[in-house]
Amino acid sequence: MASIVNPPRDPNTLSNYNNFVTTHTIANLGIHFEKRCVSGNITLKLKSITDAATKEIVLDTSFLNIKDVVVNGRASKWNLSSRFEPYGSALKISLEEGIDDGKSVDVNITSETTKDCTALGWMTPAQARSEYPYMYTQCQAIYARSVFPCQDTPDVKSTFEFNIESPLPVLASGLSTGVQDVHSGSEVAAGTKLYSFEQKLPIPSYLFALASGNIEKAPIGPRSTVATGPKQLQAAKWELEESTEKFIETIEKIVYPYQWGHYNVFILPPSFPYGGMENPIYTYATPTLISGDRENIDVIAHELSHSYSGNLVSNCSWEHFWLNEGWATYLERRIQAAVHGKPRRDFSAIIGWKALQDSVAQFGETHEFTQLVVDLKGKDPDDAFSSIPYEKGYTFLSYLESQVGEDKWNKFIPHYFNTFARRSLDSYDFKANLLAFFESDSAASDALNKVDWDAWFYKPGLPPKPKFETSLVDVCYALASKWKNIKAEKFEPKAQDVKGWCANQAVVFLDSVQAFAHKLDKRETQAMGSVYGFAKSRNAEVVARYFQVALKAKDDSVYKPTAELLGNVGRIKFVRPLYKWLSEADRKLAVKTFEKNIDFYHPICRGLIEKDLFGKGNRI
């Protein structure tokens, strides 16, 4: 009898993963810098999870050139459906006969990426600030399908084998198993080597990662290495070597031993569109992290936390993204508290709460994307991306912690990460797991019965505001309030005002000043920039916020430095608001800056600025 096939939980894949699931993937690929493409073949071991009635395998692809499909060693019939936005083109592979439940089939596909590929960042030597070109992938959320055909859903997890040919050193989201010379021929660039890796823990497709360039390595701990261009190597090592192992040991105490063998950090060229990306074995990180003051390494605590939340225990679809990011934010702040003392947790949460307020204000407080659990049917997960899953998720987990009490909650954390390790889950699995864990504890159960789950999951807007411990931020608010009344109080800024402040205190101060920045005049914002040293800060979090304040005040002394920063940093978090405010202050300069740097930005970032500056796909 045919088993009942549930509809897939993930609406953002075209694959029929309710019939087949990928259990192992072999990626034999070549990186071609001149043609700017990645090509080769992929073998997917697909296990049937229903009876033999289904005679078709459907995979995700996006802007791929498919050349050949072989099933169990025999050429197969296949066709590529027309594009269905935003998900790409379904690759439909016919099977001669159905596959019995539990049996596997090997599908080998030869393909190459095209110029429209959304996952690959390519850089000329000039853009990479190097003598060599550079390439890297960014697959989260639904871009792995533009590198190779796959079941591009976090609800399916596969082990991986990578065999990658490139003329420059290669990194991947697996442990290295060797490097071999490749004899050059007409098709092969000089110096090409074959770099092999394996990933024995099953990972979802969005964690597939490759990078190649003039990459060198240095140790930053007993199980950690930093990789980056030779010029930045020493600075990167200094920034990270003090904390990386400390963070790992701390999270091991909060959850359980680190499972992936090595935890390494790869510092990318400045066009990298994110602060960090939790690719297994090698966290990818923005070079803005290397600020010379070790003040931005909370990003590392965050990405390391994904080794548990996201990479080992994964959200089953982007509708439940808060499970990845809310938990990672929660664990990141627990690490900060353990390493630097309790007030640090709330210090970071206060900055997070401001980001949450901004996101809710930006979407509108009744907007569906301000819910913790969102409906993404037919939608692009990138459109829903904001601070909400991070900060509403964090607020929810902190609230649950306070409901059951800290000690009991601490016992639940390893239980949760044990139950769902190597699996994917949704918000209802999380709820059921939590309730079951405390079933025999009547005090905790009573407290959990008071939780309004539906409101937390589905109510748009801000959740109730938690009480924060404000010891580290009170001075920042007090100074901001002086600036608010600068004219009435004849306040004269002095370097003394911010003496001994850490970068995050400047961030909190600038975040509050932003609310009334349009009322400041140019003379005042200039004084803020020079007297407090914000205008020349090496810390991108500080300088980008200061520029926003000054742009809002129409202070033309920052227009040129803003345009320069926009040519040197491609991190979406900084670039988007800076373009927005530069465009309001000096539209011509904003457009000119974008046109000048268009090739510098990663395709995802480029698309977003284009949308913001010119409206959807409408460049005028």
Of residues 186, 129, 147, 153, the one with CA closest to residue 37 = 147
Of residues 312, 395, 313, the one with CA closest to residue 349 = 395
Q: In whole angstroms, give the CA distance from residue 236 to residue 184.
A: 34
- Could you tell which of Zn ion, ligand BES, none binds residue 420, using a CB distance below 5 to 8 A set by kind? none
Based on CB atoms, which residue is closest to ligand BES, 306 or 344? 306
Match 């000329």 to its residue by tokens: 124
Task: Tell me which residue has its CB nearest to Zn ion.
Answer: 328
Based on CB atoms, which residue is closest to ligand BES, 390 or 534? 390
Q: In whole angstroms, give the CA distance from residue 411 to residue 292.
A: 37
Q: Which of 174, 276, 529, 577 binds ligand BES (CB under 6 A)?
A: 276
In the complex, least distance from residue 396 CB atom to ligand BES, rounded to whole angstroms: 17
Q: Which of 112, 152, 165, 303 binds ligand BES (CB under 6 A)?
A: 303
3-state secondary structure of 228: strand
β-sheet bridge partners, residue 61: 89
Query: Exposure of 588 by Cβ count < 10 A (0-12 exposed, 13-18 middle, 19+ buried)?
Result: exposed
Q: Which of 226, 277, 575, 585 binds ligand BES (CB under 6 A)?
A: 277
Element (H, E) at 415: helix 406-419
> Catalytic residue numbers?
303, 390
Based on CB atoms, which residue is closest to Zn ion, 236 or 328? 328
Counting contacts by CB under 6 A, is residue 299 touching ligand BES?
yes
Residues binding Zn ion (CB under 5 A): 325, 328
Based on CB atoms, which residue is closest to Zn ion, 541 or 555? 541
Binding region for ligand BES (CB under 6 A) out of 17-25, 189-197, 299-307, 579-587: 299-307
Based on CB atoms, which residue is closest to Zn ion, 196 or 311? 311
Q: Edge-to-edge strand order for the sheet containing 276-277? A: 216-221, 224-228, 264-267, 282-285, 276-277
Q: In whole angstroms, give the CA distance from residue 513 to residue 485.
A: 11
Return the HEC string of 137-157: ECCCCCCHHHCCCECCCCCCC
The DSSP letter of residue 83 is: P
In the complex, least distance from residue 277 CB atom to Zn ion, rounded to whole angstroms: 8
Tell me, residue by residue from 122 to 161, as one string, x for binding to ligand BES by CB under 6 A and - for no binding: ------------------xx--------------------
Based on CB atoms, which residue is closest to ligand BES, 58 or 569? 569
The CA angle 304-266-133, to the nearest 5 degrees, is 155
Name the token pair of 392: 């509403």
Q: Which of 136, 162, 308, 385 binds ligand BES (CB under 6 A)?
A: 385
The DSSP letter of residue 205 is: G
Name the token pair of 577: 């608001």
In the complex, least distance from residue 485 CB atom to ligand BES, rounded to whole angstroms: 33
For residues 357 and 462, the answer to whether their CB atoms sit within 8 Å is: yes
The DSSP letter of residue 601 is: S
In the complex, least distance from residue 191 CB atom to ligand BES, rounded to whole angstroms: 32
Tell me, residue by residue from 328 to 367, as one string, x for binding to ligand BES by CB under 6 A and - for no binding: ----------------------------------------
Residues 558-577 that bind ligand BES (CB under 6 A): 573
Q: Which of 239, 278, 511, 541 binds ligand BES (CB under 6 A)?
A: 278
Counting contacts by CB under 6 A, is residue 541 touching ligand BES?
no
Q: In whole angstroms, give the CA distance from residue 297 to residue 295.
A: 6
Binding region for ligand BES (CB under 6 A) out of 275-283, 337-345, 368-376, 562-570: 275-283
User: Which spans of this chain sit near ligand BES (rule: CB under 6 A)?
Assistant: 140-141, 274-278, 299, 302-303, 306, 325, 385, 573
